[in-house]
Amino acid sequence: MLRSAAGLRQNIRLRVHRVSVLVEVAGVVISAKAEAEPCALGNKPLAIACIPAFNEEETIGKVVLQSQRYVDKVVVCDDGSTDMTSEIAERLGAIVIRHKENRGKGSALRTLFAKVMKLEPDVVVILDADGQHDPSDIPRIIKPVLSGTCDVAIGNRYSGDRRSDVPFYRQRGLVVLNWFGKALKGSNVKDTQNGFRAYSLKGLKVVAGCESDGYSVESEQLILAEKNSLRVTEIPVRIRYKGLKNTSKKTPLTHGLGIIGFLLRTIVEERPLLLLGVPGLFSIIVGALFGAWMLQMYAASHYITTNIALASMAFILVGSFCLSTAITLYAFSRISQKLKRQE
């Protein structure tokens, strides 16, 4: 009896919460209609907004409605939400694609890209469903793509007159991630992890090849853009953090380590001589110096210092392994590049 009563109370609380969400969305609808503006782009060229979403019923309505003011179509991928995210987006006129289970942001973006490429848009803008990205920035971020001056426009939350209230730990973390990005492809993008982006159809076809399922997809998109010589520019945008709940589905540490792990794997694949070859060669040199020191001591005392001998052998073995692995990976990388060019 107690269990059934507790279940009834929980069910009532859930229904009350959902009603409050719908009431809030209704208020946004009325407000949006009162301030309605014609789409800035008209029927031509075709602009589409793509929004990956996971349990964002409290914010998805406002994001969809505000985005509709600046684009022709809004497409939402509900990545396995257990709340009313997809229902709200669909009622407000968005095209909704559903995943049965949560697969990650990268997977949601692949689904969105596959859908919108069939529509052959002139520009596609990506923004989050949690309210961090300001849809009023859409015109400024798609402008350079529509004018043909770039293939990829990335929002920059750290420059211009659109500075954001970015938490300190995010600023420090971005410095580290940018360093890895520069080491990998020499990229000069300052806000590599900003998901507020716009793509031309050419750029969209390139980044649609991303394989990452999680948040490292932003880094992989930049890598593919560099590889395919896409023109990339950064546009000042405002990112909101204060007053928002759960702006990240992972802890900052887990989020950051996941991206660093992806970048390290990619650097090993793309630049094995840098990450493995150089340290391996340095290790061999250190081992040789230890060996020379041991021989010098042996010549003077006719006694082998075991610790120095073991250190010399360890450094030389580790260095030789790293160097041989780097050369092998480099050879495979070169062969792979040649096969791709032949295709």
CATH code assigned at 187: 3.90.550.10
- Per-residue model confidence (pLDDT) at position 41: 43
39 and 70 in contact (C-beta within 8 Å)? Answer: yes
In this predicted structure, the answer to whether residue 306 has a pLDDT above a threshold of 50 is yes
- The pLDDT assigned to 245 comes to 65
Q: What is the model's pLDDT at position 187?
A: 67
User: 292 lies in which domain range?
Assistant: 272-342
- Please check whether residues 280 and 251 belong to one and the same domain: no
| pLDDT of 84 above 70 | yes
Is residue 258 domain-shared with residue 281, that is, in the same domain?
no
Count of C-beta atoms within a 10 Å radius of residue 334: 10
Quick one: pLDDT at residue 329? Answer: 82
For the chain, state the CA radius of gyration.
Answer: 26
Q: Greater confidence, 325 or 144?
A: 144
Neighbouring residues of 163: CB distance < 8 A, sequence distance ≥ 6: 157, 236, 238
128, HSE (Cβ side, Cα atoms, 13 Å): 24
Between 156 and 242, the more confident residue is: 156
The answer to whether 19 touches 93, Cβ cutoff 8 Å, is no
Cβ atoms 123, 235 nearer than 8 A: no
Identify the residue with better confidence: 18 or 64: 64
Q: Are strands 152-156 and 197-200 parallel, antiparallel or unpaired?
A: antiparallel
Please give the residue that has the higher pLDDT: either 328 or 30: 328
Task: Give residue-wise pLDDT tens across range 168-212.
Answer: 666 666 667 666 666 556 567 888 888 999 999 999 999 998 888
Alpha helices in the chain (DSSP H): 2-34, 60-68, 85-91, 105-117, 138-146, 168-185, 201-207, 217-227, 252-270, 272, 278-301, 306-342
The sheet carrying 232-236 orders its strands as 95-99, 73-79, 47-53, 123-126, 197-200, 152-156, 232-236
In a 13 Å sphere around the CA of 76, the CA atoms on its Cβ side amount to 32
Where is the domain boundary, 214, 237, 269? 269
% of the chain exceeding 70 in pLDDT: 71
Q: Which residue has the higher pLDDT, 141 or 297?
A: 141
Domain for residue 8, yes or no? Answer: no
- Supply 159's token pair: 């420059």
Report phi then psi at 77, rounded to 5. Answer: -105, 110
Tens digits of per-residue pLDDT, 1-55? 444 545 544 554 554 455 454 445 445 444 444 343 444 444 568 999 999 999 9
For residues 101 and 123, give the distance between their C-alpha atoms in angstroms, rounded to a whole number: 29
Q: Do 162 and 244 lie in a common domain?
A: yes
* Residue 228 domain-assigned (yes or no): yes
Q: Which of 4-13, 90-99, 151-160 has the highest mean pLDDT?
A: 90-99
- Over residues 222-277, the pLDDT tens digits come to 888 988 889 999 999 988 877 666 555 566 667 666 666 766 777 677 778 877 88
What is the greatest pairwise CA distance in the chain? 94
Tell whether the model's pLDDT for residue 136 goes beyond 90: yes
CA 163/CA 17 separation, integer angstroms: 34
**What 3-state class would DSSP assign to 129?**
coil
User: Is 188 in the same domain as 281?
Assistant: no
220 has pLDDT over 90: no
What DSSP state is assigned to residue 150? -
49 in the same domain as 140:
yes
Inform me whether the pLDDT recorded for 335 exceeds 60. yes
Mean pLDDT of the chain: 80
Instruction: Report yes or no on 13 lying in a domain.
Output: no
Of the candidates 158, 206, 207, 202, which has an alpha carbon nearest to the alpha carbon of residue 178? Answer: 158
pLDDT at res. 8 = 45
**Cα–Cα nearest to 156, from 147, 144, 146, 148:** 144
How many structural domains does the chain have?
2
* Each residue's pLDDT tens digit, 247-257: 555 666 676 66
Q: Is the residue at 2 inside a domain?
A: no
pTM equals 0.69
Half-sphere exposure of 99 (CA within 13 A, CB side): 22
β-strands 123-126, 232-236: how paired?
A: unpaired
Is residue 6 in a domain?
Answer: no
pLDDT score of 182: 63
Instruction: Tell me whether residue 1 is in a domain.
Output: no
Check residue 33 and give its pLDDT: 42
Q: List, for residues 54-63, the tens digit of each pLDDT value.
A: 999 999 999 9
Among 93-102, 162-171, 199-208, 280-289, whose mean pLDDT is lowest? Answer: 162-171
Regarding whether 104 and 87 lie in a shared domain, the answer is yes
